[in-house]
């Protein structure tokens, strides 16, 4: 006789600080896990970033990683901008930091490119406007992002665009925190001067913006060689590869991807020029759902083409019977109504001005008839 197992009781929910109920994992990387959680105090869903310390990591590196996470919190907390993710709270639980942020129903731009393919220049320009605005706000606060890439740009299902993951950001008044062998930044998007050992600056973020735009329209970063060392070598030494699908974004990408930071286009200038290309010059809405693939005959031309959208027209309603004109005021009570005036849509060959002129004639005739009837009535009364 088989044994009957006792039903397992559900696991109690995991709480942080007695108020944040962890619901599900929504992201996981080499350095941390992102949870979807519910704030029982404010009654809203939030995103919580938890740092994962690899087993056997030396205490010194654990401390450095903790400080790096707290820098992310301070960096985000110092900003208030529609294109920067909002920070709500900072927690330390069992010696590990947790960052509580707004939860956006979104995909990263990297996921968009992987799932939907490259974007047209107009949509890429809208995202560029938003990212440039977020970077300018960070730079004005003395913060360098240092890791601008598609994976750190969130595109909401409602079209909102947010710059996130300031995990390696550094304020201008904080010392650089690195150890030998630790590369801060993604090799495919890192600037040549930082790859060569120079400190990061706002001009390094400008390079990252250019590399991100390149990847958005071409589907790949400009210098990716698969591994860190070959990629960094290409970033420093090789010319910028062609980007035939960039269209009117081409000059902006070329200006941002100049090797010499002193000759590089600034983020502010890029933002101004991106507004001239973007579908939405405000950068508030990226209409990715309406984008369709580039026709095969246009691929590789290097010319700008406007985004193709699915037309949405309201249904055309037609009256069951044509409307008729009432009889003029001088006609008798038993007079038949006047026939309806034909619509211009039914007579495409008729000039567009004919209907307004005909209407004016009818109105004028009605007015003259009215005064004639009044004149006859007045004359009859006098007789």
pLDDT, tens only, 53-98: 777 778 887 788 788 777 767 777 878 899 999 999 988 888 788 8
What would be the CATH architecture of the domain defined by 17-103? 2-Layer Sandwich (3.30)
Q: Which residues are catalytic?
A: 147
Q: What is the pLDDT of residue 292?
A: 42
More confident residue, 333 or 200: 200
The DSSP-derived string for 153-193 is EEEETTS-EEE---TT-EETTS-----TT---S-GGG--HH
pLDDT value at residue 65:
75
Predicted pLDDT of residue 338: 53
| CATH number, domain 105-173+185-298 | 1.10.510.10
Residue 12: pLDDT over 80: no
pLDDT at 314 over 50: no
Does pLDDT of 132 surpass 80?
A: yes
pLDDT of residue 1: 46
CA dist 157 and 103 (Å) reads 12
pLDDT for 348 equals 47
Mean pLDDT calculated for residue range 91-119:
91
The answer to whether the pTM exceeds 0.75 is no
Q: Where are the domains of the chain?
A: 17-103, 105-173+185-298
Highest mean pLDDT among 257-266, 292-301, 303-312, 371-380: 257-266
């Amino acid at each position: 006789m088989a044994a009957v197992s006792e039903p397992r009781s559900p696991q109690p929910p995991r709480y942080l600080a007695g108020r944040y109920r962890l619901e599900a994992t929504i992201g996981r990387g080499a350095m941390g896990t992102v949870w979807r959680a519910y704030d029982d105090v404010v009654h809203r869903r939030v995103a919580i970033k938890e740092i994962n310390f690899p087993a056997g990591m030396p205490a010194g590196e654990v401390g450095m990683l903790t400080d790096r996470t707290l820098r992310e919190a301070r960096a985000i907390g110092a900003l208030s901008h529609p294109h920067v993710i909002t920070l709500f709270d900072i927690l330390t639980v069992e010696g590990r930091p947790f960052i509580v942020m707004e939860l956006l129903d979104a995909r990263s731009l990297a996921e968009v490119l992987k799932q939907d393919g490259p974007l047209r220049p107009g949509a890429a320009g809208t995202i560029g406007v938003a990212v440039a605005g977020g970077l300018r706000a960070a730079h004005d606060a003395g913060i360098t992002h240092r890791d601008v890439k598609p994976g750190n740009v969130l595109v909401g299902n409602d079209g909102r665009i947010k710059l996130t993951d300031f995990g390696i950001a550094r304020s201008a008044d904080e010392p650089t925190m690195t150890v030998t062998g630790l590369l801060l930044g993604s090799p495919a998007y890192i600037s040549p001067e930082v790859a060569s050992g120079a400190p990061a600056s706002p001009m390094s973020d400008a390079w990252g913006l250019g590399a991100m735009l390149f990847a958005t329209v071409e589907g790949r970063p400009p210098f990716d060689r698969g591994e860190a060392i070959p990629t960094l070598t290409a970033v420093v030494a090789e010319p910028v590869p062609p980007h035939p699908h960039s269209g009117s974004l081409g000059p902006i990408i070329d200006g941002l991807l100049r090797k010499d930071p002193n000759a590089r286009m600034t983020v502010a200038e890029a933002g101004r020029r991106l507004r001239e290309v973007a579908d939405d010059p405000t950068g508030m809405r990226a209409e990715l759902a309406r984008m369709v693939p580039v026709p095969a005959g246009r691929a590789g031309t290097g010319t700008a083409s406007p985004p193709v959208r699915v037309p949405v027209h309201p249904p055309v309603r037609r009256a069951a019977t044509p409307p008729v004109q009432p009889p003029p005021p001088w006609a008798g009570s038993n007079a038949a109504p006047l026939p309806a005036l034909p619509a211009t849509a039914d007579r495409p060959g008729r000039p567009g001005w004919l209907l307004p002129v005909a209407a004016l004639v009818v109105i004028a005739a009605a007015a003259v008839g009215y005064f004639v009837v009044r004149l006859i009535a007045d004359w009859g009364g006098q007789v």
